[in-house]
Amino acid sequence: MKAPAFSYVRAESVEHALELLSRHGNAAKILSGGQSLLPALNLRLAAPAVLIDIGRLDELRGIKLRDDVVTIGALTRHADLLTSEEISASLPLLRKAAAHVAHPAIRNRGTIGGNLAHADPASEFPACMLALDARMVIRGEGGERRVNARDFFRGIYETALEPHELLAAIEVPRPQPGSRTYFHEFVRRSGDYAMTGLAALAHVDGAQLGDLRLSYFAISDRPHLARATSHLVGVEITAERIAEAQAELDAELDPPDDQQASAAMRRHFARLLLFRCVADVLGRPELAMEAVR
């Protein structure tokens, strides 16, 4: 199981990378951390003519806090998200999620930009970015553009990136003080891809939810922001309310049926996660108990 032959170019700058991209077009693949690309190459599921290695571009690295936005360079590694104090303080959802991504040796090389550009529907970070309403900063030879997470993920391994473009950074609005996050995924083994998962951001207003963004993954061809939360915002939360939201959620989902999980299981897990999330962010464990019944 050896990778097919390809050429390799190490980009000297973002401009150089963009120039290489426009020269090679679809024949080229960006190599960032390589933790999704290399398995595909070794299994000969991908056969690019040229790899453009952006791994040494320091301008794509780093986590910056400015006003109400956290800018995360595309080359920020999963391991960095786990250890960064800025992330812990500002975006705890990403820290929670990073702990679930694969294993330490993979987190040491895998990058947030590579992960998001790969757009695996079972991956944790795309859903987090959707929950956090992040913007993708995309560089092309024509300049820079920004795409919201909800528009960035287009399908299985499909994004809004054009062949000649590069994901340079992610701008994440800092959640309001007092906001709460929830992250859980159903995996058979630690570090596996999720059967279904949820990344959520909530604003708790007394006993009520001021806002609730439930971003599911491994439930569709891209992360899914539940519309059913409208039933739960600004109202007194009861088991009945949650049941209504569940039914609504069920109606809006069309999950795939595959080896990892059946569609029915994914629906079941999604409903369960809604319950558990609301119970968690409101600090009302009795709601989750009711859900089990």
Q: With beta carbons less than 8 A apart as the criterion, state whether 160 and 260 touch.
A: no
Q: With beta carbons less than 8 A apart as the criterion, state whether 116 and 170 touch.
A: yes
Backbone Cα Rg of the chain: 19
Taking the complex as a whole, the smallest distance from the CB of residue 200 to another protein amounts, in Å, to 18
CB atoms < 10 A from the CB of 4, how many?
A: 11
Residue of 23, 89, 104, 235 interacting with another protein (CB under 8 A):
104
Q: Is 216 in the site for another protein (CB under 8 A)?
A: no
Residue with Cβ nearer another protein (119 or 195): 195
Q: Which residues of 64-86 are buried (b: 16+ CB within 10 A; e: fewer)?
A: eeeeeebbbbbbbbbbbbbebee
Residue with Cβ nearer another protein (209 or 272): 272
What's the angle, vertex CA 185, arms to CA 129 and CA 79, rounded to 5? 60
Judged by CB under 8 A, which stretch of 51-59, 129-137, 144-152, 222-230 contacts another protein? 51-59
171 CB-near residues (< 8 Å, 6+ apart): 69, 70, 71, 72, 134, 135, 137, 146
Judged by CB under 8 A, which stretch of 49-57, 62-70, 125-133, 134-142 contacts another protein? 49-57
Residue of 21, 34, 121, 246 interacting with another protein (CB under 8 A):
34
Q: Is 166 in the site for another protein (CB under 8 A)?
A: no
Q: Is 269 in the site for another protein (CB under 8 A)?
A: yes
Instruction: Find the helix or strand (DSSP H, E) in which 99 lies.
Output: none
- Interface residues with another protein (CB under 8 A) are 1-8, 10, 31, 34-35, 38-39, 41-44, 51, 53, 55, 79, 102-106, 108-109, 186, 188-193, 195, 259, 261-262, 264-265, 267-269, 272, 289, 291-292
